Structure 1
Amino acid sequence: MTKQLNKIYAIKTIALVAQEMGEDEDWLNEIIEEMEPEDGLIWVYGPDGKGTAAFSDFGVENLEDIIRERRHLKK
């Protein structure tokens, strides 16, 4: 039996992704309600129990797709 290994070696927090994209972090937090772990969304928790959204590279790509779709629908 072959063991499946996680191939994600790094993730970016939603704060960093918002900064890199030039987007509002609060708006991105609304958008990610549509995303699932299969979409590259990962929740990271600290010792205080508070969590923050983070994304694999695949997750950032999916988030960009959702943003494009949202902006296209507004037109």
Structure 2
Amino acid sequence: MAGISYVFTISRVAEMLGEDEEWLDEISIVLDPEDDRLGVLGLGDESTTAFTRFGIENLAELVQIYKADPSLLPRPKPRE
């Protein structure tokens, strides 16, 4: 199996999936590094969440679960 050569930031994944970034970050907390959800550290206290392609697939499955049962975590209202 080849190593991971790149990851997608949560901002990029939110754009790809057409979903709210903060909502995705909230629901992705249940994913582990084994699910290909990673923390990327920057300078100082800067950090962001990132995903491999497999991680995006796992997150997309979670999105469907949370959309099917909005009581799990309500989606934010669109900003005007």
Q: CA deviation at 1:6?
A: 6.5
| Distance of 1:12 and 1:71 partners within structure 2 | 22
Q: CA deviation at 1:30?
A: 0.6
| Larger Rg computed on CA atoms | 1
1:25 matched to 2:40: no
The alignment's TM-score, normalised by the length of structure 2, stands at 0.80
What residue number does 2:54 align with? 58
Divergent runs of 4+, >3 A: none
Local SS of the residue matching 1:10: coil
- Give unpaired runs (5+ residues) of structure 1: none
Coordinate RMSD, CA, aligned: 1.7
> Paired residues, what number?
71
Q: What percent of counterpart residues are identical?
A: 37
More helix by share: 1
Local SS of the residue matching 2:69: helix
Q: Given residue 15 of structure 2, which amino acid in structure 1 is its aligned partner?
A: Q
The alignment's TM-score, normalised by the length of structure 1, stands at 0.85
- Give unpaired runs (5+ residues) of structure 2: 71-80
